[in-house]
Amino acid sequence: MTACITGWAHSKFGKHEDETVESLIVGVASQAMEHAGVEPQDVDEIVLGHFNAGFSRQDFTASLVLQADDRLRFKPATRVENACATGSAAIHQGMNSIKAGKARNVLVVGVEQMTKTPGPEIGENLKKASYLPEDGDIPAGFAGVFGQIAHAYFQRHGDQSDALAMLAAKNHKNGVGNPYAQMRKDLGYEFCRNESEKNPFVAGPLKRTDCSLVSDGAAAIMLTDLETAMHAPRAVMFRAAEHVQDFLPMSKRDILLFEGCEEGWKRAFKSAGVALDDLSFVETHDCFTIAELIEYEAMGLAKRGEGGALAMSGETAKDGRLPVNPSGGLKAKGHPIGATGVSMHALTAMQLCGEAGDIQVDGATLGGIFNMGGAAVANYVSIMERVR
């Protein structure tokens, strides 16, 4: 591969009433340049991942990154979007520029501010990541879409309520150690398993603890070509970076298979020349607990229909055979749409450089990432390794 991450920055995710999309962008952009040791005048291109879909009145946001430093003026800056995988889409655009020889240093920023939007509008905005002719009238917004997926999975493979609660509890336990996470509280299995006033059913068999958090936040990384990265203080290389796009209508595919996710992992393993067992950890897209469960099967960690048994086994805990979401995932960290993919890559780089603090996986050498847009529509898989 031709690109490395040489620096990063990450805001705390959560409700930021005193922040704006602009201030969130400026904060992480400045910090990422400083962390990478790249002066603004040496940035060749800027890519911003910002989903928006009605969350922000300011809808022309690429140039807001220039507010971080006047020396960024006249740099090429583009906003990209691919639903909940918007951050990874921005990273891929930056990597393509490096691969084409058009840039040596690309600043990639992901951002979203969701909490200033009224609750009913949040649901409608998120539903725009589904196929509206078929899914537009599903109650409970995007949670309703995954509620239907969970119900169908239960019909085919049996009730998985215990497994979903175990996944939620695992990720919330992991999130306690993540200083960037929105919810740093170990909720425990019993709370996640049982319906209560604080944990009501939201859609189908999904309870509140099965759903990722509405959040504000931003993250940024500096992408650098391999030759230049060899002189940087740190460099985390992409062994693989794959993008697989699937049909938008769920009616055109077996939604319980997440075939785009499966294909993305197959291509990534082939490109990187590694196997699943070679990975030290995985950050995967747990927008809902049922998504993480199905992703276990799609990545080959469990056989079809056995993702729940794997979740119950403890093998994906932080001290398990393959830790999944040591950061706490979207469940604990929060899910500011445009920032999520960049966050996953920044946190993976931290792990591989041994700079992940209380969420550090001991001896991590190879990290996998799966970032998903829509219901397994936009599928991005990265495999990363530290080279410096």
**Active site (catalytic) residues:** 84, 335
What are the φ/ψ torsions at residue 332 (nearest 5 degrees)? -95, -35
Long-range contacts of 243-247 (CB under 8 A, 24+ apart): 243/88, 243/89, 243/92, 243/378, 243/379, 243/380, 244/379, 244/381, 245/377, 245/378, 245/379, 246/376, 246/377, 246/379, 247/377
- Among 51, 66, 238, 46, smallest CA distance to 142 is for 51
Q: Quote the strand ranges of the chain, DSSP E.
A: 3-10, 45-49, 77-80, 105-113, 201-203, 206-207, 216-225, 236-245, 281-284, 366-373, 378-386
Spatial distance between the Cα atoms of 146 and 84, rounded to a whole number of angstroms? 14
Residue 382, helix vs strand vs coil: strand
Report yes or no: 108 and 349 within 8 Å, Cβ to Cβ.
no
